[in-house]
Chain A
Amino acid sequence: MTSTTRKSTATRGRGGAANTAPPRPGASRVRRSHRRWAWGFLAPVTLYLLAFYAYPLYRNVELSLREYTVRSFVQGGAPFAGLDNYRTVLTDPAFWPTLTHTVVFTAASLAFQFSIGMALALFFRQHFPLSGTLRALILVPWLLPLIVSASTWSWLLNSDSGLVNAALGVVGVDQVNWLTSPGWSLTSVIIANIWIGIPFNLVVLYSGLQAIPTEVYEASALDGATGWQRFWSITFPLLRPVSAITLLLGLIYTLKVFDIIWIMTRGGPTDSSATLATWSYRLGFGNLLPEFGPGAAVGNLLIVMALIAGLVYIRIQRRQNLR
Chain B
Amino acid sequence: MTGLSRRRRLAAVAVTALCALAGAGCSSTTDGPSDGGAYLVWDPYPQFADDSEWVALLKKCGTSAGVTVERTGYDTTDLTNKALLAAQQGNSPDVLIVDNPVISTLAEAGALTTTEENKLDVSSMEANLLGAGQRDGRTYGVPIGANTLALYYNKDLLTAAGVDPASVKDWTSLTAALTKVKAKGKKGITFSAIGTEEGSFQFLPWFWGSGAQLTALDSPQAVSALTLWTDWLKQGHSPNSVINNTQTTSWQEFATGDYAFAENGTWQLANAEKLGFAYGTIAIPASAGGPAPAPTGGEFVSIPVQNKTDRYAASQKLVACLTSADNLLTTDTTLSYVAPVAAVQERQAAADPKLKVWVEAVRAAKGRTGDNLGTKYPKISEPLWTAVQAALSGAKSPREALTAAQAAATAR
A50–B375 touching, CB < 8 Å: no
Q: Within 8 Å CB of A73, what residues of B?
A: 84, 88, 109
**CA of A154 to CA of B10, assembled, Å:** 52
The total of chain A residues at the interface (CB under 8 A) is 38
Within 8 A of A (CB), among B25-46: none
B-chain residues with CB within 8 Å of residue A74 when the two chains form the complex: 84, 87-88, 109-111
B395 touches A50 (CB 8 A): no
Distance between Cα atoms of A175 and B236 in the complex (Å): 12
- Whether a CB of chain A sits under 8 angstroms from the CB of B70 is no
A182, B392: Cα distance in complex, Å: 10
The residues of B that contact A51 with a CB separation of less than 8 Å are 18, 22
Residues in A with CB closer than 8 Å to B197 are 287-288
Asked if B102 and A288 sit within 8 Å, CB to CB, the answer is yes
For A57, the chain B residues whose CB sits under 8 A away are none
- Report, as a range, how many residues of chain B touch the other chain: 35 or more
Q: Which of A69, A177, A265, A270 has the most CB of B within 10 A?
A: A270
CB distance from A67 to the nearest CB of B (A): 14
Assess whether A177 is in contact with B240, with CB atoms less than 8 Å apart.
Answer: yes
Q: Does B372 contact A (CB under 8 A)?
A: no
Given A43-B14, A74-B111, A181-B394, does the pair A159, B87 have CB atoms closer than 8 Å? no
Q: Do residues B244 and A154 form an inter-chain contact, with CB atoms below 8 A?
A: yes
Is residue B389 contacting chain A, with contact meaning CB distance below 8 A? Answer: yes
A269 touches B243 (CB 8 A): yes
Other-chain contact of A288, B87, B88, B381 (Cβ < 8 Å): B381
Residue among A43, A154, A180 making CB contact with B240, cutoff 8 Å: A180
Assess whether B306 is interfacial by the CB under 8 Å rule: no
Per-position binary interface string of chain A over residues 30-72, scored 1 when its CB falls under 8 Å from any chain B CB and 0 otherwise = 0000000001000100110011000100000000000001110
Distance in Å: Cβ of A192 to nearest Cβ of chain B: 14
For residue A276, CB closer than 8 A to chain B, the reply is: no
Given the contacts A182-B395, A287-B378, A160 and B240 also touching, CB distance less than 8 Å: yes
Identify which of residues 78-135 in chain B touch chain A, using a CB-to-CB cut-off of 8 Å.
80-81, 84, 87-88, 101-102, 105-106, 108-111
A79 proximal to B (CB < 8 A):
no
> Chain B residue with minimal CB distance to A50?
B18
**Given contacts A47-B14, A74-B88, is CB(A269)–CB(B109) below 8 Å?**
no
Does A159 contact B241, Cβ atoms closer than 8 Å?
yes
Residue of A nearest to B240 (CB): A159
Q: Is B378 in contact with A288, judged by CB distance below 8 angstroms? A: yes
Interface contact B239-A160, CB-CB below 8 Å? yes
Which A residues are in CB contact (< 8 Å) with B389?
Answer: 268-270
Question: How far is the CB of B23 from the nearest CB of chain A, in Å?
Answer: 12
B contact residues vs A (CB 8 Å cutoff): 10-11, 14-15, 17-18, 22, 77, 80-81, 84, 87-88, 101-102, 105-106, 108-111, 194-197, 239-241, 243-244, 253, 256, 375, 377-379, 381-382, 386, 389-390, 392-396
Beyond A71-B108, A272-B393, 13 extra complex contacts between A and B, CB < 8 Å: A47-B14, A47-B17, A70-B108, A71-B110, A74-B109, A158-B241, A159-B240, A180-B393, A265-B195, A270-B396, A287-B381, A289-B108, A289-B378
